[in-house]
Chain A
Amino acid sequence: MNPSESQGEKNTLAKTRNLKRNTLPALTMAGPVTFWMLVFVLLPLLYVVFISFMRRDAFGGIDYHVTLSNYVEILQPVYLKVIWKSIKLALLTTVICILIGYPLAYYIARKPSKLAAKLLMLVMIPFWTNTLVRLYSINLMGQPNGFLNQFLLRAGLISKPLDILYSDGIVVVGLLISMLPFAILPLYASIEKLDKSYLEASSDLGARPAITFLRVTIPLTLPGIVAAVMLVFIPSLGMYYVPEALGGGKVMLIGSLIRNQFLVTKNWPFGASLSILLLLITLIMLWLYTRIAKLDDMEVF
């Protein structure tokens, strides 16, 4: 036996010993969390997976026959359209959130910390008020006889009320209003952490501000950008009350579709299969996230 082999053996021995010594305390600490996750996350999830392979019975209950039909049904053009539209609007929301959120977060992060805290507070306050209240107030403002149309009419800018509500545009606005804080906070955190000396070094070496931004600021705040994308895109995709409140029945997104399956048409198995699809999209996003995070194994983060 050569020495390196015996060394390796010793290492594994030590590892097993360590493992034994450390498992018990670790288990007691992780125990409650594990229990919580099991009962309130894993079991319901498994149940959703389970019924997604069942059939709906005539009375809106579950008929315990294994089938793939719920997944096949998703492939119908009408549903694919809904899914595609959901992804499109969620993407649009995400892009606009980043485009608005980044400069805002940058502006706040470059202020003295006391002022920055106050500004962040201003970002958060609307977020703490009830979202539905905010959405319905937008709805009221956007009505044909609502504030916005009346104002434009009186100002003579338009001759008849605009169709503000029940359009994709207003749904994106609603999504933006609900999601913007989720973009600003991670962006702020990563921009605030960005050491100013990197920017100075770049400028010192002859880079104009735009080049510094592209080659130093963006790459070094990428984790914040990716986190913001995740935090905006995933909830936007499944959000059902925003299209409900602002899109009426007209803008159908995957969230509303799922909700309808459970609460209106009582097709739980189909709703479950749509939920699983949503979950898969989320998992793919998370996987991409870890890929990007690994790509940039930077010391600063």
Chain B
Amino acid sequence: MNEIGEYIISLSNVDKYFGTNHVIQNFHLNVRQGEFLTLLGPSGCGKTTILRMIAGFEDSSGGTIRVQGERVEDKEAFERDVNTVFQSYALFPHMTVFDNIAYGLSVKKVPKSEIKERVKEMLELVQLMGFEGRKPAMMSGGQKQRVAIARALINRPKVLLLDEPLGALDLKLRKQMQIELKRLQKKLNITFIYVTHDQEEAMTMSDRIAVMNGGVLEQLDTPDQIYKHPKTKFVADFIGESNLFDGIAKPAESISAHMENGTIQKEFTVLTASGIFPLVQNVTEESCSVTKEPLDSGSGLPLTVCVRPEVMKYSKCPVEGFSLSGVIKNVIFVGSQYRSLIVMDNGYEVRVNRIKPDQTVSEGERVFLFWDLEDASCIFQRKEG
């Protein structure tokens, strides 16, 4: 088991109320040293609130927050070893770039000569040499952004908190700054906790992503795992495109369970409103405990199966085990992909993305859906209690 002290930031059972509004609910989050962790979620889900509680601008209503294993709930923001890059930059308008960057050192009474040296170092790091005499009002968004980063980094914090730092930049500058931020993070080996509601940004930059919804942590995983194996319907829906089938899984008639590295692979048949299809699932301790129900209970197990549009396939004749058919409604070329919309017999619309056009079928034609069994991921309905 991991010791709490091993994590640089650790939140457990954190709650936050604004009045009666329960905005963060029983939140757990452990962040490793040197990690790039992103909080991702829709607007109002509580990302900023989490950052503000870590920084010390907001008190938590319950639970513990640890920085390097040490509880910080009673520490003021100025006593905490974390620094923040604000979304609006919050550069002091009455100070020059030099004074802004030097601020963190000058309030600590660091000698002038050292301040000068370290500011210079920072200016080089963010490539703003020659701007030290300017006021923030005379700089572009991207330049202000760099000043904000330099100002936060000069204290050599253990953790840098960034609240949508690229939100105000245009697409091209954003991409460029994404690369630069990642470079900085690697070079300095500082832990970044990064807030964004841009999925693509989260996917490309993060070591791990914490997907939040309504103040609840939905899933904490690597970008790859989040995409391929969403644990909740919300995550499946929020991250990328997905086709979701709600249904009931019953053990397949020809029970063929086989062991592989300690996990048992079991075959099921899933019955949904749109049709029937097979499912292979690793039966582990974990999946049993999530459902609180033995996987092979006779009545079948309610679940949702997620199949991404780019792994969804169709053919003109039925595929063994699958009984999912629909009519192609339309095919749209969007530059990199051909997107088809297939309407199932019960009205459910399934999306299929292909790199190449399919000349053999045309709109209005009936097709049969299938996929490689390992491409489907399965979401168990969470049981209360």
Residues of chain A at the chain B interface (Cβ within 8 Å):
195, 197-198, 200-209, 211, 215-216, 219-220, 296-300
User: Cβ of A204 and Cβ of B55 under 8 Å apart?
Assistant: yes
Is the C-beta of B155 less than 8 angstroms from some C-beta in chain A? yes
Provide the residues of chain A in CB contact with B86, threshold 8 Å.
197, 200-201
User: Cβ of B94 and Cβ of A211 under 8 Å apart?
Assistant: no
Provide the residues of chain A in CB contact with B55, threshold 8 Å.
200, 204
Provide the residues of chain B in CB contact with A300, threshold 8 Å.
93
Given A200-B57, A200-B77: A205 and B107 interface contact (C-beta under 8 Å) = yes
User: Cβ of B84 and Cβ of A204 under 8 Å apart?
Assistant: yes
Residues of chain B at the chain A interface (Cβ within 8 Å):
55-57, 76-78, 83-84, 86, 88, 90-94, 103-104, 107-108, 135-137, 151-152, 155
Known contacts A205-B104, A298-B137, A299-B93; 9 further A-B pairs (Cβ under 8 A): A195-B90, A198-B92, A200-B86, A200-B90, A201-B92, A204-B152, A205-B78, A211-B107, A299-B135
Provide the residues of chain A in CB contact with B78, threshold 8 Å.
203-209
In Å, the complex CA distance between A72 and B359 comes to: 105
Provide the residues of chain A in CB contact with B77, threshold 8 Å.
200, 203-204
> 9 smallest A-B Cβ distances: which pairs?
A299-B137, A205-B104, A197-B90, A207-B107, A201-B90, A203-B77, A298-B93, A219-B94, A203-B78
In Å, the complex CA distance between A6 and B91 comes to: 42
User: Cβ of B83 and Cβ of A204 under 8 Å apart?
Assistant: yes
A296's nearest neighbour on chain B, judged by CB, is B94
User: Cβ of A206 and Cβ of B57 under 8 Å apart?
Assistant: no
User: Cβ of B88 and Cβ of A206 under 8 Å apart?
Assistant: no
In Å, the complex CA distance between A219 and B100 comes to: 14
User: Cβ of B93 and Cβ of A220 under 8 Å apart?
Assistant: yes
Among B91, B103, B152, which residue has the most Cβ atoms of chain A within 10 A? B103
Q: Could you name 26 residue pairs across A and B whose Cβ atoms are closer than 8 Å? A: A197-B88, A197-B90, A200-B55, A200-B57, A200-B84, A200-B86, A201-B84, A201-B90, A201-B151, A202-B107, A204-B57, A204-B152, A205-B78, A205-B83, A205-B103, A206-B78, A206-B104, A206-B107, A207-B103, A219-B94, A220-B94, A297-B137, A298-B137, A299-B135, A299-B136, A299-B137
In Å, the complex CA distance between A38 and B3 comes to: 82
In Å, the complex CA distance between A110 and B29 comes to: 33
Given A205-B103, A208-B78: A198 and B137 interface contact (C-beta under 8 Å) = no
Shortest distance between the CB of A293 and any CB in chain B (Å): 13
Provide the residues of chain B in CB contact with A216, threshold 8 Å.
92
Among A204, A207, A297, A300, which residue has the most Cβ atoms of chain B within 10 A? A204
Provide the residues of chain A in CB contact with B108, threshold 8 Å.
206
Provide the residues of chain A in CB contact with B83, threshold 8 Å.
204-205
A207's nearest neighbour on chain B, judged by CB, is B107
In Å, the complex CA distance between A207 and B102 comes to: 12
Provide the residues of chain B in CB contact with A195, threshold 8 Å.
88, 90
In Å, the complex CA distance between A203 and B83 comes to: 10
User: Cβ of B103 and Cβ of A202 under 8 Å apart?
Assistant: yes
Provide the residues of chain A in CB contact with B91, threshold 8 Å.
201
B138's nearest neighbour on chain A, judged by CB, is A299
Shortest distance between the CB of A258 and any CB in chain B (Å): 40
A204's nearest neighbour on chain B, judged by CB, is B84
In Å, the complex CA distance between A208 and B79 comes to: 9
A216's nearest neighbour on chain B, judged by CB, is B92
User: Cβ of B94 and Cβ of A298 under 8 Å apart?
Assistant: yes
A201's nearest neighbour on chain B, judged by CB, is B90
Shortest distance between the CB of A115 and any CB in chain B (Å): 15
Provide the residues of chain B in CB contact with A299, threshold 8 Å.
93, 135-137
In Å, the complex CA distance between A197 and B88 comes to: 8
Provide the residues of chain A in CB contact with B92, threshold 8 Å.
198, 201-202, 216, 220
Shortest distance between the CB of A195 and any CB in chain B (Å): 7
Shortest distance between the CB of A222 and any CB in chain B (Å): 8
B84's nearest neighbour on chain A, judged by CB, is A204
A205's nearest neighbour on chain B, judged by CB, is B104
B99's nearest neighbour on chain A, judged by CB, is A215
Provide the residues of chain A in CB contact with B155, threshold 8 Å.
205-206
Shortest distance between the CB of A189 and any CB in chain B (Å): 17
A200's nearest neighbour on chain B, judged by CB, is B57
Provide the residues of chain B in CB contact with A202, threshold 8 Å.
92, 103, 107
Shortest distance between the CB of A196 and any CB in chain B (Å): 9
In Å, the complex CA distance between A143 and B303 comes to: 88
User: Cβ of B90 and Cβ of A215 under 8 Å apart?
Assistant: no
In Å, the complex CA distance between A220 and B78 comes to: 20
In Å, the complex CA distance between A113 and B136 comes to: 29
In Å, the complex CA distance between A203 and B78 comes to: 5
Provide the residues of chain A in CB contact with B103, threshold 8 Å.
202, 205, 207, 215
In Å, the complex CA distance between A198 and B91 comes to: 7
A300's nearest neighbour on chain B, judged by CB, is B93
Provide the residues of chain B in CB contact with A204, threshold 8 Å.
55-57, 77-78, 83-84, 152
B102's nearest neighbour on chain A, judged by CB, is A205
Provide the residues of chain B in CB contact with A200, threshold 8 Å.
55, 57, 77, 84, 86, 90
In Å, the complex CA distance between A220 and B92 comes to: 9
Provide the residues of chain A in CB contact with B94, threshold 8 Å.
219-220, 296, 298
In Å, the complex CA distance between A299 and B155 comes to: 26
